[in-house]
Chain A
Amino acid sequence: MVNTDKNTILISPVTRIEGHAKITLQLNEAGEVADAKFHVTEFRGFEKFCEGRMFTEMPTITPRICGICPTSHTLASVKACDMIMGIRPTYTANLLRRLMHIGQNLSSHALSFFHLSSPDFLLGYDSDPAKRNILGVAEKFPDLAKRGIRLRQFGQELSERITGKKIHIMGIVPGGMAFPLTEDNRKALLEWVPEAKETTLQAIELIKRFHEENEEMVRTFAPSPTLYLGTVGPNGEHELYDGKLRFMDTDGNIIQDQVDPKNYLDYIAERSVSWSYRKYPYYKPFGFEKGIYRVGPLARLNVASQMKTPLAQKEFENYKAMCGGKPLHGTFYYHYTRLIECLSDVEDAERILNDPEVTSLHIQNFGRWNYDEGIGSSEAPRGTLFHHYKTDRTGKLLMVNLLIATGQNNPSMNQSVLEVARQYVKGDDIQEGMLNRVESTIRCYDPCLSCSTHALGQMPMQIEVLDAGGELIKSLERN
């Protein structure tokens, strides 16, 4: 520990998330947490350097933003391209795009739950940090760890068997898909379904048991109410690939429904802050202070009226019953909602793979530049994602706006970190387990800050305590 400043605690880098970030906790004179800041310290610049490229290159360039959710970027991008060309994908192409997105969601959610978060549930928040990772889980719960890894593998295999690659796929194209699904691959993917379903159900049981055993902690874990944004189908059903936007207020009232994603700017605005490269989006009609909203699995289940598949619907009803049909605000419920989505994904994959049209060869419609603006959205694993392009009359990009899910969760992540820090961090007597709880608040959101994953939690962690005058008084280092 290094004592340099009395009242600020700095957690840097935050581990077991995608990307790099640090947390600063500002203490007051009494040693209580007064403020928390979640900094994103890297700068990417995609919106700028994509300018000048052909719009049709965007489905190839933008997935490189992230190695965890490249398919979501591709989908948002091709949908923006579809709009620029004024064409619609074929029925089969939509099925294959949905399958690709399911694969993406499953592999990302499995990574988040089993690899990154389950060490906290299974081994304990205060357990030895050196073993609090997926390898530690594998040692103590080998079957569950293996199942988790295989669930992720199923997600990636969906991608590989449809487009030939696990990540950074090429094959989702404007107007549809580039490659058809072969009968052999369809059968091979169907064989995965029973195991994936069983794994998901086991994980749901695990999280529910944890809820029961840690009721107080789960209920009080960063429970500040926020607004919610998610995509829903025409009947308000949970939707990941293609639907309309629904905004919900803190009491569960639907404040906007069936909003076409192309009108997103009417409802969402962004503001920059000096201490982070990430912007602060907010619900425009409520303004910056009151317009904090969340996206992602928790938001999607809060805004949805129903699920599309039977087993997921059963869990969804259980979820809704936990708060009498009102939205659940507790940040910890992200994990549960993530698993309900996994169940829905597996069931939906089974339905699609049994659709006789899924192996059809009619997979692409063709077009060319027709309109100078395109907006596409998809529900990435971490929430609603928007791609917005403007082009000149030759198709060259003049403006690119990418509204990323984690960016939209940024204001509420700060709020959650502050709440948990206030609950667990007291003065300069800082224990590693306390910091892990603060970090795990961020992990609930499964933030995707860049394209790297520190799945084993090997990154060193540093906590610094600064006094009210801004002088560093204490620093705790991990590793």
Chain B
Amino acid sequence: MMALVTIYIDDKKIIANSEKTILEVARENNIEILTMCHLKGLTDVGACRLCMVELEGSPKLFSACTTKVAENMIVTTNSERIKRYQRITTELFFAERNHICAVCVSNGACELQNLGYKVGMEAIRYPHLFPQCDVDTSHPLYVMDQNRCISCSRCIRACAEVEGAYNWDMMGRGYQIRVISDFNTPWGESTTCTSCGKCLQACPTGALWAKSIVQGQQDKHPEFITDLMERRKMKL
């Protein structure tokens, strides 16, 4: 049941709707919290662990996108500890797959690349896994490149929640997790994909891209997903 609560984010007193998450309230109040897996309009899953915040009274961190605000909650988003974790998380994204910005189709238009700049990543301190990843070019219009996937699952949720096609899903666990088409079959053979391209718009990196473009022409609009969902809610 909706109620108004008083919370404090980085010492700023805010009256907020109790149905909302810390992330939503922070953004409404122009407080920046880094995210990769959040895309407004889609269900939040707390997958990327970038939006971790400190709550007074608890030693553990909470993901801002999945934690709802509560009365007298005292939230810290910018402590040194948080910044340190953000850098670690970002570096782990880069170390886990084969992210080579210089030759990526999304170079210059990539949320992961921007995140690296934002957290001040100068080097990756962890050993790269350099996994052998497939590039699925079987779809006539699009490419799925596992090398550049960060498993944020935005494509999966866009496909399921907006398009209703349920083409994408997850397979495996931990660092071996993979986004798959249908039952791990080539995307071009999918019986569910409508080729709508929403997954491309939702993808924050160069993992999903259109065959018709090359580097310098990447022009993704994840806000399309948000707009679609807003209009749908308003029954427009």
| Residue of chain B at shortest CB distance from A81 | B214
Stretch at the interface among A59-67, A139-147, A252-260: A59-67
> Is B188 at the interface (CB under 8 A from chain A)?
yes
> Is B138 at the interface (CB under 8 A from chain A)?
yes
- CB pair B102–A170 under 8 Å, yes or no, is no
Q: How far is the CB of A81 from chain B (nearest CB, A)?
A: 8
CB interface residues, B 197-233, toward A, < 8 Å: 211-217
Name the prevailing secondary structure of the A interface residues: loop
- CB pair B105–A394 under 8 Å, yes or no, is no
| Residue of chain A at shortest CB distance from B209 | A54
| Residue of chain A at shortest CB distance from B133 | A52
In this complex, how many residues of chain A approach chain B with their Cβ under 8 Å: the count is 24
CB interface residues, B 64-109, toward A, < 8 Å: 102-105, 107-108
Known: A170-B108, A178-B217. A61 touches B211 (CB 8 A): no
> Is A478 at the interface (CB under 8 A from chain B)?
no
- CB pair A56–B103 under 8 Å, yes or no, is no
Q: Which residues of B contact A178 (CB under 8 A)?
A: 214, 216-217
Q: Which residues of A contact B105 (CB under 8 A)?
A: 57, 60
- CB pair A60–B103 under 8 Å, yes or no, is yes
- CB pair B103–A57 under 8 Å, yes or no, is yes
Known: A61-B103, A64-B103, A170-B108. A56 touches B216 (CB 8 A): no
Known: A54-B143, A57-B105. A396 touches B214 (CB 8 A): no
- CB pair A396–B215 under 8 Å, yes or no, is no
- CB pair A368–B212 under 8 Å, yes or no, is yes
Q: Which residues of B contact A392 (CB under 8 A)?
A: 137
Q: A59, A170, A173, A394: which contacts B137 (Cβ < 8 A)?
A: A394
> Is B135 at the interface (CB under 8 A from chain A)?
yes
Q: Which residues of B contact A368 (CB under 8 A)?
A: 140, 211-212
> Is A13 at the interface (CB under 8 A from chain B)?
no
| Residue of chain A at shortest CB distance from B210 | A56
Q: Which residues of B contact A173 (CB under 8 A)?
A: 214, 216-217
Q: How far is the CB of A82 from chain B (nearest CB, A)?
A: 12
> Is A131 at the interface (CB under 8 A from chain B)?
no
- CB pair B214–A59 under 8 Å, yes or no, is yes
Q: B135, B140, B214: which contacts A170 (Cβ < 8 A)?
A: B214
| Residue of chain B at shortest CB distance from A173 | B214
Q: Which residues of A contact B215 (CB under 8 A)?
A: 57, 59-60, 170
Q: A52, A171, A366: which contacts B216 (Cβ < 8 A)?
A: A171
CB interface residues, A 30-75, toward B, < 8 Å: 52-54, 56-57, 59-61, 64
| Residue of chain B at shortest CB distance from A53 | B135
Name the prevailing secondary structure of the B interface residues: loop
- CB pair A56–B108 under 8 Å, yes or no, is no
In this complex, how many residues of chain B approach chain A with their Cβ under 8 Å: the count is 20
| Residue of chain B at shortest CB distance from A168 | B102
- CB pair A54–B137 under 8 Å, yes or no, is yes
Q: A52, A179, A369: which contacts B211 (Cβ < 8 A)?
A: A369
Q: How far is the CB of A328 from chain B (nearest CB, A)?
A: 40
Q: Which residues of A contact B188 (CB under 8 A)?
A: 394
Q: How far is the CB of B39 from chain A (nearest CB, A)?
A: 25
Q: How far is the CB of A333 from chain B (nearest CB, A)?
A: 37
Q: Which residues of B contact A163 (CB under 8 A)?
A: 216
Q: How far is the CB of B103 from chain A (nearest CB, A)?
A: 5
> Is A174 at the interface (CB under 8 A from chain B)?
yes
> Is A155 at the interface (CB under 8 A from chain B)?
no
Q: How far is the CB of B220 from chain A (nearest CB, A)?
A: 16
> Is A395 at the interface (CB under 8 A from chain B)?
yes
Q: How far is the CB of A184 from chain B (nearest CB, A)?
A: 20
Q: Which residues of A contact B137 (CB under 8 A)?
A: 54, 392, 394-396
Question: What is the bound-complex CA distance between A173 and B218, given in angstroms?
Answer: 12
Q: How far is the CB of A463 from chain B (nearest CB, A)?
A: 37
Q: How far is the CB of A467 from chain B (nearest CB, A)?
A: 45
- CB pair A54–B102 under 8 Å, yes or no, is no
Known: A57-B105, A60-B103, A368-B211. A396 touches B135 (CB 8 A): yes
Q: A53, A179, A366, A394: which contacts B212 (Cβ < 8 A)?
A: A366
Question: What is the bound-complex CA distance between A57 and B206, given in angstroms?
Answer: 12
Question: What is the bound-complex CA distance between A194 and B219, given in angstroms?
Answer: 39
Q: How far is the CB of B185 from chain A (nearest CB, A)?
A: 14
Q: Which residues of B contact A396 (CB under 8 A)?
A: 135, 137
Q: How far is the CB of B57 from chain A (nearest CB, A)?
A: 50
Question: What is the bound-complex CA distance between A449 and B140, given in angstroms?
Answer: 38
A166-192 near B? 1/0 per residue, CB < 8 Å: 001011011000110000000000000
Q: How far is the CB of B143 from chain A (nearest CB, A)?
A: 6
Known: A60-B105, A64-B102, A394-B188. A52 touches B214 (CB 8 A): no
Q: Which of B103, B104, B139, B140 counts the most chain A CB atoms within 10 A?
A: B103
Question: What is the bound-complex CA distance between A173 and B108, given in angstroms?
Answer: 16
- CB pair A52–B135 under 8 Å, yes or no, is yes
- CB pair A56–B211 under 8 Å, yes or no, is yes
A-B contact pairs, 7 of them (CB 8 A): A56-B214, A57-B105, A59-B215, A60-B214, A178-B216, A179-B216, A394-B137
Q: Which residues of A contact B (CB under 8 A)?
A: 52-54, 56-57, 59-61, 64, 163, 168, 170-171, 173-174, 178-179, 366, 368-369, 392, 394-396
| Interchain residue pairs A-B with the least CB separation, the first 8 | A170-B216, A394-B137, A60-B215, A170-B215, A396-B137, A61-B103, A173-B214, A178-B216
Task: List 4 extra interface pairs beyond A60-B214, A394-B188, CB under 8 A.
Answer: A52-B135, A57-B105, A60-B104, A178-B214
